Structure 1
Amino acid sequence: MSTSPAHDPAPPPPGGVLWSLAGDIRGLLMLPAALALQVAHPAVGAGVDAHSVFRTDPWGRGERSLRSLQLWVYGGETAAEEGRRLRAFHRTIQGTDTRGRRYHALAPATYAWVHATGFPVFHHAYRYLVRPMTEAQERELYAEWLQVGRVLGIHDRDMPQTIEEFWPYYRKVLADEIEATAVVRELIATDSPVPPPDRGPLPLRLLLRLLWPVLLPPLARFRRFLTIGLMPPDAREAIGLEWTDEQERRLRRFGRVVRAVVPVLPERLRYLPLAREARRHHRLTGAARRAR
């Protein structure tokens, strides 16, 4: 794939499924499940375990990952630049996984799986937090996800090109590769040491530091609940994560509240900053074109 800016793949178009979802605060609720499914692959889990700063700087890593994801969708000409930055960052990440196999972060199968996980998680979580997708929306989401993959430098030959091809590929990876890696167990643990947030105004940081011993346990339980609950059931089963009927009922109740509250929020509360700015710019340029 060419890295010339003149031939850079464009991000998904405004008005699509990802344009609405990627910057919506509901997308934040889906990300822990996607991350857990990524690191359930032994190669990805080993790379994150050895090379990530998610233990020492979880808030900074989360902020950078979230900004990166939004750039893929809302970044315009900078989307492909962010894709090149990510590939350069992962170029030196390699080692041996828990099965004794050599891995490299940019090996096509590994790199593609990290990206692929977003589609089944978003597809599953959407029905709880937004509404069940129509068949047309499913196909649109998958086509846009493939386009994001191109932005990230994933070749078409390394990703299934249709939904019909995706699900057998996905089930095969679940059957052959996925397991409860050490990083998965750490991400869903409720007793892992997590430092308080170190972003934001100083008074807020000091307050959070003071209250953190009280706040962390319920936040950790909520993170576990969402991580497992918004993961597709077949992925849960492949990893060996338990999910009860009572938890399912709680998740459905939670989803009803989210579906009722989020759509009526003002845009400044519903969308993250990069998404808000991109949506505002799109409206202004559209209005200017119509005025001509």
Structure 2
Amino acid sequence: MFGPGSEFHGFFNDPRWALAMVRATVLEAAHPQVGAALLDNSTFLAHPWRRLRNTFLSMQRMFSADEQVRKREAARLNRLHARLNGTGSDNRPYDAMDPAVRAWVVATLFESAVTMCQLSGQSLEQKAMERLYAEFRTFLATMGDEAGHLPVALADFWPYFDRVVARELENTEAMRIILYKLFDHLPAPPVLNGFPALWATGRAIAGPVIGAITVASLPEQFRRRAGLPELAGAQTLMQGAYLTVGLVRFLPESWIQAANIADLLALSPHSDDPRARTITALHEQMKRAGALLRLVTPFPPEPEPAGGAETQRSAAEFFAEVLDQTGDGFLDWPDLAAMARELSSRLDLDEPEETRLYTAYADWWRELQTALDTDGDGRVSAREYATAVPSLAGPSLIRVAEVLFDVTDKDGDQHIDADEYRALFQTAFHRDTTDTRGAYDRSAFVSEFLSFMSGRRRTTPYDPLLAQA
């Protein structure tokens, strides 16, 4: 069912899967419960590349050939989903542990994989489709959900899918953001940071095209009900896109491995990864191209921070880039929970360390809420934050730093060594952080973390951790 030889494994490095995943995400976001959970808790708007990479790594683990890896990832996802519940802006409750909703998410992945093959002119044979469906049902069972939430037989799946599309999906705000706003404001991946003109030019072209392709690929009955406009020629454009992207899979396998592409997109020029040298050289060439492009395009260059690797950022910049993880313009618990989630994912934490980190962030949120929420609406606005100009290094933030050090220091020797540092920051030691032993001690780590969070400094190791998209 899993690993090499499975039907899904054959799709993992298929470039068509990129288009199919966008389509599946739109169908997920059209479900009212999923849409509300995304708006309230997800970092897909403010940190889309980080979210994409984390989702990819999770899928890798869930379809691993190693049963223990699958079980551990399933337990991690269940803990994550158990924390995602609340009431949406329409006053309807949502719960990420709702088994029917989780079944729908799996259903969109399976149906989009089948549709992907159909649109690219290579429909799956019946037996292959049945095997793929069995794999996705097993995926759901691995999560601990009852298998009955997805029909047992493939023949019964299609009426189930059509019924949910017809009766439950809506034109949600989250769906509209993914289709029409996400690509308009999509920040550059870390590897392309510093080239706003080049990125803006490509995004201005690709965004509307991807949106049109996705809308054209959605079920017709849902397009009509949701009032989604379909551009003239969009069906032809969509089929041409799937056919063209499908041809890419005939390139050498090493060129199109999804893991390599995901790592490259997330790669910082400051990384100790050998590929970073090549990226740095490409950056120099792209700077020249970017300068030329700025002369002939209307996209103004975005200001670059002056003063090298460590400079002060304004309170507004710090709020938007670091504190507001969900991108909704406010600071509340989901933003700090997103920080805990990202750190837990990077360090691959298990219990009880994961809960310790979440608890530390929850305590910090209560401290911030008490100090900064002047109008009592349960959240902190950018204006409230900027007006207070707070010193964030209170007792609870110090506790966050202490717990983060503890969970990073895997061997408990009170020093973070090179491997532990790389696990957290995904780069080699920053030269200024090591002591005479060549390690990062507790006091230095806590001091640097508090300096970043309260002094609003741009720093080489910490910005990729919490600020970059």
| TM-score when normalising by structure 1 | 0.80
Where does structure 2 lack aligned partners over 5 or more consecutive residues?
262-469
| 1:268 and 2:254 correspond | yes
Alignment CA distance shift 1:20-1:236 (3 Å) = farther
The Cα shift of 1:57 comes to 0.7
Secondary structure, aligned partner of 1:206: coil
The Cα shift of 1:270 comes to 2.7
Secondary structure, aligned partner of 2:193: helix
Q: Which residue number in structure 2 is paired with residue 44 of structure 1?
A: 34
1:174 corresponds, among 159, 165, 187, to 165
Q: Deviations 1:213-256 (Å, cap 9, x if unpaired)? A: 22221121132133223334344344332335621112222333
Q: Which residue number in structure 2 is paired with residue 186 of structure 1?
A: 177
Alignment CA distance shift 1:274-1:113 (3 Å) = farther
Where in structure 2 are the equivalents of 1:128-143 lying within 5 Å?
128-129=119-120, 131-143=122-134
2:83 corresponds, among 86, 92, 97, to 92
Q: Deviations 1:148-189 (Å, cap 9, x if unpaired)? A: 212233221222111122122212211221011001111111
Alignment CA distance shift 1:130-1:153 (3 Å) = farther
Secondary structure, aligned partner of 2:185: coil
User: 2:136 and 2:15 mapped to 1: Cα distance?
Assistant: 19
Secondary structure, aligned partner of 1:153: coil
Q: Deviations 1:124-155 (Å, cap 9, x if unpaired)? A: 11112361111112211111111121223322
Q: Which residue number in structure 1 is paired with residue 47 of structure 2?
A: 57
Where in structure 2 are the equivalents of 1:78-227 lying within 5 Å?
78-97=69-88, 100-129=91-120, 131-189=122-180, 192-198=184-190, 200=191, 204-207=192-195, 209-227=196-214
Q: Which residue number in structure 2 is paired with residue 16 of structure 1?
A: 6
The Cα shift of 1:44 comes to 0.5
Q: Which amino acid aligns with 1:257?
A: T
User: 1:118 and 1:234 mapped to 2: Cα distance?
Assistant: 19
The Cα shift of 1:85 comes to 0.8
Equivalences, count: 259
Conserved 8 A contact 1:229-1:243: yes
Q: Which amino acid aligns with 1:16?
A: S
Alignment CA distance shift 1:17-1:64 (3 Å) = same
Conserved 8 A contact 2:3-2:65: no
Conserved 8 A contact 1:79-1:151: yes
User: 2:249 and 2:210 mapped to 1: Cα distance?
Assistant: 22
Alignment CA distance shift 1:41-1:51 (3 Å) = same
Q: Over aligned residue pairs, what C-alpha RMSD do you find?
A: 2.3
Conserved 8 A contact 1:42-1:178: yes
Alignment CA distance shift 1:245-1:152 (3 Å) = farther
2:229 corresponds, among 242, 258, 279, to 242
| Farther off after superposition, 123-132 or 104-113 | 123-132
User: 1:104 and 1:97 mapped to 2: Cα distance?
Assistant: 10
Secondary structure, aligned partner of 2:63: helix
User: 1:205 and 1:274 mapped to 2: Cα distance?
Assistant: 19
Of all paired residues, the percent bearing the same amino acid is 27
Q: Which amino acid aligns with 2:216?
A: G
Q: Which amino acid aligns with 1:222?
A: V
Alignment CA distance shift 1:106-1:274 (3 Å) = farther
Q: Deviations 1:63-114 (Å, cap 9, x if unpaired)? A: 1111212222235231221111111011121122465332211011112112
Kindly name which structure, 1 or 2, has the bigger radius of gyration based on alpha carbons. Answer: 2
Task: Name the structure with the higher helix share.
Answer: 1
Secondary structure, aligned partner of 1:95: strand
| TM-score when normalising by structure 2 | 0.51
Q: Which amino acid aligns with 1:50?
A: D
Conserved 8 A contact 1:34-1:117: yes
Alignment CA distance shift 1:236-1:147 (3 Å) = farther
User: 1:251 and 1:107 mapped to 2: Cα distance?
Assistant: 33
User: 2:127 and 2:184 mapped to 1: Cα distance?
Assistant: 41
Where does structure 1 lack aligned partners over 5 or more consecutive residues?
1-10, 276-292
Q: Deviations 1:244-283 (Å, cap 9, x if unpaired)? A: 5621112222333233x224211112322389xxxxxxxx
Q: Which amino acid aligns with 2:108?
A: T
